[in-house]
Amino acid sequence: MSKQWLAMTVISTALFLVGIDMTVLYTALPILTHALQASNSEKLWVINAYPLAMAGLLLGLGTLGDRIGHRRIFMVGLFLFGLASLGAAFSPTVDILIATRALLAIGAAMMLPASLSLIRQTFATDQERAVAIGVWGAVFSGAAAVGPLIGGILLSKFWWGSIFLINVPVVVVALLLAPLLIPNVPGNPKRVWDPLSSLIVMVALVGLTYALMEVAKPAPNGLDAAIALLIGIVFMTWFVVRQNRSASPTVDFALFRSSGFLGGILAILAGMVALIGVQLMLLQRLQLVFGFSPLQAALFIIPMSVASFVSGPLLSAVLLRLGVERGISITLLIGAAGLAGLAYFEHASLALQLVSLIVFGFGGGASASASSTAVMINTTDDKAGMAASIEGVSFEFGGVIGIAVMGSIATYIYSSSIVLPHDFLNADRARDSIDQAFLLAEHLNAEAAQQLVAHAKAAFDLAYLGVMLAGAAIMGLLGVVFALVKPSKAINHRAREY
């Protein structure tokens, strides 16, 4: 194996950890929620703290990599990621777990844009870069897909903190190999770094996400939601105005004038919303409704993970001949078909549901690969770090939207459809989530507990159906749009041969 591909292995290993930590908690949610007595809102924030903090930090940290060198920031991010993993593994409360998840995000936000930029610096030819970027997209989306499996395996033997502790030895090995294999290309000290913009956009994203999650509660606080929405809008407006007035912006909105670049970003968002929604709901349904163990649930979705891993590199071999926009359209429609199958076969045999899951995994993985290629070939070399940061934000914020939107859809359907007796005590708590309903059932007599569990499962099934249909609609509609869009011409001067 050449030194270039050995370097790619180190980069992919770190990237794999970043992707895994987006979803590894999904298998552990029922156990973690019970152990820490977390509410539905706290459960969503445990998940969201990681991608939300990343989305706010990626833009500025990608630019910082352009300034000080991408290998340096990559290695600092690795170190912080390992340190935060130790803290998360031994968190005694939900609040501390949320805080350490945010610290994990800082390390991940350093590594993610640096990884794409390092690929550009490591591989010299266009074809090698196309294949490497295809592998990058497959590793990231595949890691998000396989995260629940790794969580299930660990939870079958260890406590929930092991899903974080497993990161530490991998980080140590990667830190030792990175200086030996990854080229050290000096940064551009003239590149302006604007940390205030990162803070502004992070506040905006937190505000908008909090507003959405508050509205979806069974008993929402309208004032809190309105204040959060106002904060989100004001700070997002401030961010856009600041970028447009800056001589060296963190985000150059001129990049979005390229239909290929914009399309790639939209496709990433759609794919991540669907992927996160499917995993969040399916893994909980398998455990809470069907009674699977965490490992059994994770094993059930491994074919989706395999399909996601395989589809990216397979597509990259023909993508440039097929056309990027056409490739994105086809893969999105394949993913939508898989989700429609999951909805249609909701109460059919598990085999039919598994086939639908494989179809979705194949389409989702291929879509991530095609979208990453679309983004990176539609930017110039001097803005590679910026483009990679925007792409990373799209992956992470797509995850945030997936959790917030799909979680909100699920919460609304569940809370409005669960059937409870008129005189039932703690009705609000039972409507909060299926986890809380199960906790309440532990303190009821056998007959009442059985009825509550049955009603909670029925309501959750309806929520699951709603999420699958919503994901299919998002991917399907965007796939149709791409089919109608005129192909764009890559603006990267090194992409002429494409």
User: Rounded to an integer, what distance in angstroms lies between the CA atom of residue 345 and that of residue 351?
Assistant: 10
pLDDT of residue 498: 34
Chain segment 111-134, per-residue pLDDT in tens:
877 777 777 667 766 667 667 776
Residues 473 and 359 in one domain: yes
Residues 30 and 154 in one domain: yes
Could you tell me which residue, 456 or 221, shows the higher pLDDT? 456
User: Rounded to an integer, what distance in angstroms lies between the CA atom of residue 442 and that of residue 474?
Assistant: 38
**Span 203-212, mean pLDDT?**
79
DSSP one-letter string for 319-339: HHHH-HHHHHHHHHHHHHHHH
**Which candidate, 354, 422, 392, 39, places its Cα nearest to that of 250?**
392
Q: Is residue 339 in a domain?
A: yes
Residues 292 and 363 in one domain: yes
- Total number of domains constituting the chain: 2
Q: Is residue 433 in a domain?
A: no
Residues 116 and 242 in one domain: no
SS3 252: coil
pLDDT of residue 495: 40
Query: What is the span of the domain harbouring residue 230?
Result: 198-249
Residues 140 and 285 in one domain: yes
Q: Is residue 190 in a domain?
A: no
**Which candidate, 478, 481, 142, 487, places its Cα nearest to that of 335?**
478
Look at residue 360 and tell me whether its pLDDT is greater than 80.
yes
**Span 256-285, mean pLDDT?**
82
CB 4 within 8 A of CB 261: no
Chain segment 437-470, per-residue pLDDT in tens:
888 888 888 888 888 889 889 999 999 999 999 9
Q: Is residue 336 in a domain?
A: yes
Q: Is residue 61 in a domain?
A: yes
In the structure encoding, which two tokens stand for residue 148, read together?
């629940």
* Confidence tier at 382 by pLDDT (50, 70, 90): low
Look at residue 247 and tell me whether its pLDDT is greater than 90.
no
> Which of 45-49, 117-121, 312-316, 343-347 has the largest mean confidence?
343-347
Residues 240 and 270 in one domain: no
* Count of C-beta atoms within a 10 Å radius of residue 191: 16
Q: Is residue 428 in a domain?
A: no
User: Rounded to an integer, what distance in angstroms lies between the CA atom of residue 400 and that of residue 106?
Assistant: 16
**Span 350-359, mean pLDDT?**
91
* Confidence tier at 188 by pLDDT (50, 70, 90): low
**Domain harbouring 396, CATH code:** 1.20.1250.20
User: 0.75 exceeded by the pTM?
Assistant: no
Residues 26 and 95 in one domain: yes
Look at residue 492 and tell me whether its pLDDT is greater than 60.
no
**Which candidate, 379, 280, 302, 347, places its Cα nearest to that of 44?**
280
Residues 215 and 354 in one domain: no
pLDDT of residue 126: 61
* Confidence tier at 384 by pLDDT (50, 70, 90): low
**Which candidate, 491, 492, 399, 392, places its Cα nearest to that of 115?**
392
Look at residue 67 and tell me whether its pLDDT is greater than 60.
yes
Q: Is residue 448 in a domain?
A: no
